[in-house]
């Protein structure tokens, strides 16, 4: 067993030495594909996390014509929960709304002095459950809430939520496309480089066949080549991504829009999975090429 491994590794090293420039190009292509894919994936995952956090603050405000009397509150609650589960419902009367505004204005509350405590409309604040916080569902919920008795209008920062939703959708498409790019580039490049190895080693493969080398002896080093290209290429890609991440942490922090996001790198398991998948893809590419181009 030890001898077998020794000869397979020795043969792999010989192959790599013989065509190191092709091997390097393949590895760089794998790295670049992994870098592109993981770059978008990292942004996507971080924005999803940010969206989750912002979603915790999401509430729908139903402005009413008249205040809701305590005895009809259960009726409103029932009507609202008929559409779907909500985390909580808060009834705000005019006085409470006025007090809140005063608190928000803080030191500038004196601007409210000339206004009566009933100039703000009463409202109901609805905090939807997380499970129906997608854009379509929120719209449907908003439309439903406008049908409640006495409802003037419903607000939940539609424009912002919609834009955020579209942005996430766009990013999802980019992640999928870069994933497809990763698959195509790795499989194609690795299978091409193995094909070149096979062509370059035609005479050697003939001699191996003539001295009775079995399929395993001939194919295993080529498979190891694919594994190495995948492993080293994807590890390099992930390493580059980490450097970019560290750079952004140092240079792009501070006040502003980016502060909403707490940028985090992939978990160790995710990193390991990405490297493992890229390695598997490269191994697959190598096996396909070996079977297709090598007559044993």
Partner 1 sequence: MIRSFPENSPVVDIVKVTKVYPPDIVAVQNVSLAVTKGEMLFLTGMSGAGKTTLLKMICCIEKPNKGIIEVGGQDVSRLKQKKIQQLRQQIGVVYQDFKVLPKQTVFQNIAIPMEVMYRSPREIRKRVDELLEILGIPHKKDIQTEKLSRGEQQRVAIARAAANAPPLILADEPTGNLDQEAAKDVMGLFEKLNREGSTIIIATHDKSIYESTRHRKIELEHGLFCSQIVHKQLPLIDM
Query: 6 vs 167, which CB is nearer to partner 1?
Result: 6
Q: Min. distance of Cβ 294 from partner 1 in angstroms? A: 13
Q: Min. distance of Cβ 204 from partner 1 in angstroms? A: 6
Q: Min. distance of Cβ 210 from partner 1 in angstroms? A: 7
CA distance 135 to 159: 11
Question: Contact 279/64 with Cβ under 8 angstroms?
Answer: no
CA distance 230 to 191: 12
* Phi, psi of 127, rounded to the nearest 5 degrees: -105, 100
Query: 203 vs 250, which CB is nearer to partner 1?
Result: 203
Q: Min. distance of Cβ 16 from partner 1 in angstroms? A: 15
Query: 174 vs 208, which CB is nearer to partner 1?
Result: 208
Provide the H-helix boundaries in the chain: 2-18, 20-56, 73-83, 94-105, 135-145, 158-200, 202-210, 215-251, 268-293
Count the neighbouring beta carbons within 10 Å of the beta carbon of residue 73.
Answer: 13
User: The sheet that has 86-92: what strands, in order across it?
Assistant: 86-92, 123-128, 60-64, 151-155
CA distance 158 to 156: 5
CA-based angle 153:154:157, to the nearest 5?
Answer: 130
Query: 1 vs 250, which CB is nearer to partner 1?
Result: 1
Q: Min. distance of Cβ 209 from partner 1 in angstroms? A: 8
Q: Min. distance of Cβ 51 from partner 1 in angstroms? A: 57
CA distance 160 to 157: 6
Contact residues toward partner 1 (CB under 8 A) are: 3-4, 6-7, 10-11, 18, 203-204, 206-215, 217, 296
Q: Min. distance of Cβ 3 from partner 1 in angstroms? A: 4
Q: Min. distance of Cβ 5 from partner 1 in angstroms? A: 10
User: 77-82: long-range contacts (C-beta < 8 A, 24 or more apart)?
Assistant: 79/148, 80/124, 80/126, 80/145, 80/148
Q: Burial level of 227, CB count in 10 A (0-12/13-18/19+)?
A: middle
Query: 215 vs 253, which CB is nearer to partner 1?
Result: 215
Query: 45 vs 222, which CB is nearer to partner 1?
Result: 222
Of 248, 57, 80, the closest CA to residue 164 belongs to 57
Query: 202 vs 262, which CB is nearer to partner 1?
Result: 202
CA distance 108 to 14: 79
Query: 209 vs 293, which CB is nearer to partner 1?
Result: 209
């Amino acid at each position: 067993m030890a001898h077998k491994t020794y000869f397979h590794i020795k043969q792999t090293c010989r192959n790599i030495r013989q065509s190191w420039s092709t091997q390097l190009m393949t590895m760089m292509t794998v790295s670049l594909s992994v870098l592109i894919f993981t770059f978008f994936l990292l942004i996507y995952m971080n924005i999803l996390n940010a969206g989750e956090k912002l979603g915790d603050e999401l509430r729908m405000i139903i402005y009413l014509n008249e205040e809701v009397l305590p005895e009809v509150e259960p009726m409103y609650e029932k009507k609202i929960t008929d559409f779907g589960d909500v985390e909580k419902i808060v009834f705000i009367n005019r006085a409470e709304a006025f007090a809140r505004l005063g608190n928000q204005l803080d030191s500038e509350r004196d601007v409210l002095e000339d206004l009566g405590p009933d100039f703000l409309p009463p409202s109901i604040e609805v905090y939807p459950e997380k499970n129906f916080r997608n854009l379509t569902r929120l719209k449907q919920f908003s439309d439903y809430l406008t049908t409640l008795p006495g409802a003037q209008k419903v607000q939940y920062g539609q424009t912002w939520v919609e834009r955020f939703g579209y942005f996430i959708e766009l990013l999802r498409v980019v992640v999928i496309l870069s994933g497809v790019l990763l698959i195509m580039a790795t499989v194609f490049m690795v299978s091409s480089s193995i094909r070149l190895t096979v062509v370059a080693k035609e005479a050697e493969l003939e001699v191996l066949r003539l001295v009775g080398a079995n399929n395993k002896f001939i194919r295993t080093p080529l498979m190891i080549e694919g594994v190495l290209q995948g492993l080293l290429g994807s590890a390099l890609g992930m390493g580059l991504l980490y450097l970019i991440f560290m750079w952004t942490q140092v240079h792009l922090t501070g006040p502003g829009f980016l502060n909403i996001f707490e940028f985090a790198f992939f978990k160790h398991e995710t990193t390991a999975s990405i490297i493992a998948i890229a390695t598997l893809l490269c191994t697959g590419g190598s096996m396909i090429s070996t079977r297709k181009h090598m007559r044993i």
